[in-house]
Amino acid sequence: MAATMKDIARRTGLGLATISSYFNGGNVREKNRKKIEEAIEELHYEVNEVARGLKTNATRTVGVVIPELNNVFCAEIITEMEDILRNHGYATIVCDCRTNPALEQEAVEFLSRKRVDGIINMPVDTEGGHLRKFLKTGRPVVLIDRKIQGAACDSVLVDNEKAAEDAMDLFFANGHRTIGIIGGPEEISTAQERLSGYRKSFEKHGIPFRESLICRGDYTIQGGVRGLETLVKNNPDMTAVFVTNYEMTMGAVIGLNELGIQVPDQLSVIGFDNLQFARACSPKLTIVSQPTVEIAREAAGLMLKRLESGGDTGAYVTEKLNTEIIAGRSVRCVAGWEPGTPDRKHQA
């Protein structure tokens, strides 16, 4: 068995309170401080955070529940959040729920039993049922990436509608008119918003589009491959494709590759996330890039604020961050159009 504070007390002849005081930044006489440190050394003492957690009713641990760890967007955010939380003395327990709502619910319950002080969640269950019980305990939740209507917690989101609109506007500015989209799952808010941006841009430019240009993907690599194949098959006249997350972007590139389609000569492409992958594509891919580091900072910041403020429930905050377009060479200017020509909406 590991040494306890009692052992240190015995060895130094001091009382428990003194030892505890030593570990919690209290005032301890220099002489005793030394004695304690010697004892720690000799007994290989290490604070037992489990006991401390039981007593203080705070584990200084934050739970993180995400759909998929093996996903660059999630991994980047977690890396950064973990860093920040650790620097503030908080541990992180990450639960990957494999995009499965049942597992997600289990994960939250599991973390609740572990008495984490708060949960940061990129939700799979868009109703938020999995969080209800946890929220009742009064512990804070911060949602990232996807919103849940009416959830009693802070959220950190991205302006997905604008992200999609920007991408589409770029296509239009280069003369494209028949533009496909590989969207995400219907129930996920980011997918809804990106699709809405797609539609909005068509409207704004006064250009009709047909339903066959919209392909519902599932945010996976294989979904991207299939999405691209479907779009190409059903729309021989399509000149551009917008892919709405990283995994599907990779899938679309695989599909283009395997079908032998030249980018951008035969098809223009705008993808999503992961600048390094975009650089590795030939020609370099134009992408919409999400501010993962900022998302992480905001989320960790909001969580810390709730945790440090001792539970006085301030109004819930929803942050909305902006994406940017990183230009590559995967968008071609359609014949007869000058690059960057303003669209003809107001002239037509």
Partner DNA sequence: ATGAAAGCGCTAACAA
Partner DNA sequence: TTGTTAGCGCTTTCAT
Residues forming the site for DNA (CB under 7 A): 1-2, 4-6, 13-21, 23-24, 26-29, 31-32, 45, 47-48, 51-52, 54-57
Residues 80-99 that bind a copy of itself (CB under 8 A): 82-83, 86, 91-96, 98
What is the closest distance, in whole angstroms, from the C-beta atom of residue 63 to DNA in the complex?
18
| Contact indicator for 95, 66 with CB cutoff of 8 Å | yes
Q: Where are the beta strands (DSSP E) in 40-197?
A: 61-66, 91-96, 118-121, 141-144, 154-158, 179-183
Q: Tell me, what DSSP letter sits at residue 117?
A: S
Residue 38 within binding range of a copy of itself, rule CB under 8 A? no
CB atoms within 10 A of CB 24: 9
List the one residue out of 169, 343, 177, 340 whose CA is nearest residue 270. Answer: 169
Q: Judged by CB, which is closer to DNA: 8, or 269?
A: 8
What is the closest distance, in whole angstroms, from the C-beta atom of residue 73 to DNA in the complex?
37
Residue 24 within binding range of a copy of itself, rule CB under 8 A? no
Q: Which of a copy of itself, DNA, none does residue 104 bind to, with CB < 5 to 8 Å depending on kind?
A: none
Residue 122 within binding range of a copy of itself, rule CB under 8 A? no
The torsion of the CA quartet 126, 121, 248, 254, rounded to 10 degrees, works out to: -150
Q: Which of 39, 141, 215, 221 binds a copy of itself (CB under 8 A)?
A: 221
Contact range with a copy of itself by CB under 8 A, out of 33-41, 64-72, 168-176, 181-189? 64-72
Residue 120 pairs in a beta bridge with 64, 142
Residue 42 within binding range of a copy of itself, rule CB under 8 A? no
Residue 5 within binding range of a copy of itself, rule CB under 8 A? no
What is the closest distance, in whole angstroms, from the C-beta atom of residue 295 to a copy of itself in the complex?
14
CB atoms within 10 A of CB 156: 27
What is the closest distance, in whole angstroms, from the C-beta atom of residue 88 to DNA in the complex?
17
Q: Judged by CB, which is closer to DNA: 53, or 185?
A: 53
Residue 317 within binding range of a copy of itself, rule CB under 8 A? no
Residue 320 within binding range of a copy of itself, rule CB under 8 A? no
| Contact indicator for 81, 300 with CB cutoff of 8 Å | yes
Give backbone dihedrals phi and psi of 111, rounded to 5 degrees, phi first.
-65, -35
Q: Judged by CB, which is closer to DNA: 1, or 348?
A: 1
Residue 113 within binding range of a copy of itself, rule CB under 8 A? yes
Q: Where are the alpha helices (DSSP H) in 205-291?
A: 221-234, 246-259, 275-280
Q: Judged by CB, which is closer to DNA: 17, or 102?
A: 17
Q: Which of a copy of itself, DNA, none does residue 27 bind to, with CB < 5 to 8 Å depending on kind?
A: DNA
Residue 115 within binding range of a copy of itself, rule CB under 8 A? yes
| Contact indicator for 218, 186 with CB cutoff of 8 Å | no
Quick check: helix, strand or coil at residue 286?
strand
Q: For the purposes of burial, counting CB atoms within 10 Å of the CB of 199, is it exposed (0-12), middle (13-18) or buried (19 or more)?
A: middle
Q: Which helix (H) or strand (E) holds 116?
A: none
Tokens 């000569």 belong to which residue?
A: 265
Which residues of the chain form contacts with a copy of itself (CB under 8 A)? Answer: 1-2, 44, 46-51, 53-54, 57, 59, 61, 68-72, 75-76, 78-79, 82-83, 86, 91-96, 98, 109-110, 112-115, 133, 136-137, 221, 250, 253-254, 257-258, 276-277, 279-282, 284
